[in-house]
């Protein structure tokens, strides 16, 4: 069987979706199988090999069609068929097209399609997105893609339920396959906190580049916490994924950081705080569990499903709830140890190898006869 994987979403360096795409593809290719894998990308400056430098078991098809032209053509005329582009360049007919994330996609009728749905936040909370991103989500036609897909992989039962209730997709057409965690997730290449010039005592919020991450409530809670508890006066808040003016000396916006730097910061944090309004999965939770950092997170959406009792839950709409959680976790060593141990236990339930096996099974079952 010939399986084409659209790795356009892996060409970005940061974020959960590029990480998911890179991880699931690498582990799929590592599985013993008789299938032929083809990685499809489209960029003037980047190639599939840039995202998968050590992969030798897959063919690479790198196009250089201007993205605006490609997207417009697919939107207005449902052409070109991407599987036919791959076939022309490789001489092989694609049986299944796997899209690890939404994108402008069109394949021929005889080609099966599998799509990974991460969340539907853009449907429920369009105000969190820029006008440009709202237009993009409308133009890419997620409802149509989901309804036309041979099968959908959902990263959580929460997202699966959203797909069924909002898009009306059949329950039997959606498989829940959780993210995994790389075995080297704790290897931060010996980056020290001294080299990073970060404070000795801090809490961390990761990937706060969207309104749904609820950074505003966390900052309010942080100030209130320091005002009410004198023993936490030296506490700092570090923010990754966003670069803004520093509102005070106690809050530092680090912008986007490398994986090695991020993992070092995470490991040395007193707590990861993740008060998101909405998440389909929440990969930072697993990363914190793995390195033994206590987690304070929203009890809403998919986070409770993924955390399963391994974090301190808060109401993301209630500043007082976040303040109480921070005070209890930061001042109670027994609670810290409890959360740490719960995290170690919970993270064992997630494996990229398991995710790859389940994904390959879906791909194999979707080949059109």
Q: What are φ and ψ of residue 37, in 5° steps?
A: -105, 135
> What's the rounded Cα separation, in Å, for the pair 4 and 199?
46
Q: Mean pLDDT across the chain, nearest whole number?
A: 92
What pLDDT score was predicted for residue 49? 87
What pLDDT score was predicted for residue 51? 87
What pLDDT score was predicted for residue 62? 94
What pLDDT score was predicted for residue 185? 47
The pTM score is 0.93
Handedness of CA 273, 276, 282, 283 (dihedral sign): negative
pLDDT, tens digit, 9 for 90 and up, residues 6-34: 999 998 767 889 999 999 999 999 999 89
What pLDDT score was predicted for residue 293? 97
Burial of 305 (0-12, 13-18, 19+ CB in 10 A): middle
Q: What is the DSSP string of 279-347?
A: -S--HHHHHHHHHT--EEEESSTTHHHHHTTSSEEE-TT-HHHHHHHHHHHHH-HHHHHHHHHHHHHHH
Handedness of CA 166, 171, 172, 175 (dihedral sign): positive
Handedness of CA 106, 112, 116, 117 (dihedral sign): positive
Smallest CA-to-CA distance from 268 within 292, 304, 234, 287 is with 292
What pLDDT score was predicted for residue 332? 97
Query: What CA–CA distances, in Å, run from 156 to 61, 151, 165, 301, 306?
Result: 31, 15, 14, 10, 8
Contacts of 249 (CB under 8 A, 6+ apart): none
pLDDT, tens digit, 9 for 90 and up, residues 49-88: 888 887 778 999 999 999 999 999 999 999 999 999 999 9
Question: Is there a cis peptide before residue 160, judged by omega within 30 degrees of 0?
Answer: no
Per-residue pLDDT 10s for the chain (369 aa) are 999 999 999 987 678 899 999 999 999 999 998 999 999 999 988 888 888 887 778 999 999 999 999 999 999 999 999 999 999 999 999 999 999 999 999 999 999 999 999 999 999 999 999 999 999 999 999 999 999 999 999 999 999 999 999 999 999 999 999 999 875 544 445 565 556 778 999 999 998 888 899 999 999 999 999 999 999 999 999 999 877 767 788 999 998 888 888 999 999 999 999 999 999 999 999 999 999 999 999 998 889 999 999 999 999 999 999 999 999 999 999 999 999 999 999 999 999 999 999 999 999 999 764
What pLDDT score was predicted for residue 13? 65
What pLDDT score was predicted for residue 195? 61
Contacts of 95 (CB under 8 A, 6+ apart): 1, 2, 3, 111, 112, 367, 368
Instruction: Assign 54 to helix, strand or coil.
Output: coil
Structure tokens at 93: 């007919």
What pLDDT score was predicted for residue 259? 84
**Helix residue ranges, H only, 91-214:** 121-124, 131-139, 142-148, 157-162, 193-196
Smallest CA-to-CA distance from 352 within 98, 33, 27 is with 27
Ordered structural domains, the chain, with CATH: 2-180+351-365 (3.40.50.2000), 193-347 (3.40.50.2000)
What pLDDT score was predicted for residue 324? 97
């Amino acid at each position: 069987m010939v399986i084409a994987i659209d790795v356009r979403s892996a060409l970005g360096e940061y974020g959960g979706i590029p990480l998911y795409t890179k991880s699931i593809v690498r582990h799929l290719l590592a599985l013993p199988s008789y299938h032929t894998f083809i990685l499809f990308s489209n960029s003037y400056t980047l190639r599939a090999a840039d995202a998968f430098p050590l992969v030798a078991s897959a063919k690479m098809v790198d196009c250089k069609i201007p993205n605006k032209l490609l997207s417009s053509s697919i939107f207005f005329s449902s052409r070109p068929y991407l599987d036919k582009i791959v076939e022309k360049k490789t001489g092989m007919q694609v049986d299944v097209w796997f899209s690890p994330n939404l994108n402008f996609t069109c394949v021929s009728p005889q080609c099966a399609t599998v799509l990974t749905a991460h969340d539907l936040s853009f449907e429920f909370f369009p105000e969190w997105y820029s006008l440009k991103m709202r237009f993009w989500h409308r133009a890419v036609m997620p409802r149509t893609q989901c309804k036309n897909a041979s099968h959908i992989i959902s990263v959580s039962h929460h997202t699966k339920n959203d797909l069924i209730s909002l898009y009306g997709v059949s329950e039997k057409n959606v498989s829940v396959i959780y993210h995994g965690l790389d075995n080297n997730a704790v290897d931060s290449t010996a980056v020290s906190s001294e080299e990073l010039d970060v404070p000795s005592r801090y809490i961390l919020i990761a990937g706060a580049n969207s309104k749904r991450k609820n950074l505003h409530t966390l900052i309010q809670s942080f100030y209130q916490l320091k005002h009410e508890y004198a023993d936490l006066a030296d506490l700092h808040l570090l923010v990754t994924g966003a670069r803004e003016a520093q509102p005070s000396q106690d809050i530092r916006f680090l912008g986007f950081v490398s994986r090695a730097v991020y993992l070092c910061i995470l490991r040395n944090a007193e707590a990861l705080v993740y008060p998101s309004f909405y998440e389909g999965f929440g990969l930072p939770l697993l990363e914190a569990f793995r390195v033994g950092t206590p987690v304070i997170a929203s009890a809403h959406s998919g986070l409770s499903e993924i955390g399963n009792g391994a974090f301190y839950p808060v109401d993301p709409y209630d500043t007082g709830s976040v303040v109480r959680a921070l005070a209890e976790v930061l001042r109670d060593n027994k609670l810290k140890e409890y959360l740490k141990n719960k995290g170690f236990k919970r993270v064992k339930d997630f494996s990229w190898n398991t995710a790859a096996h389940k994904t390959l099974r879906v791909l194999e079952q979707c080949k059109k006869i």
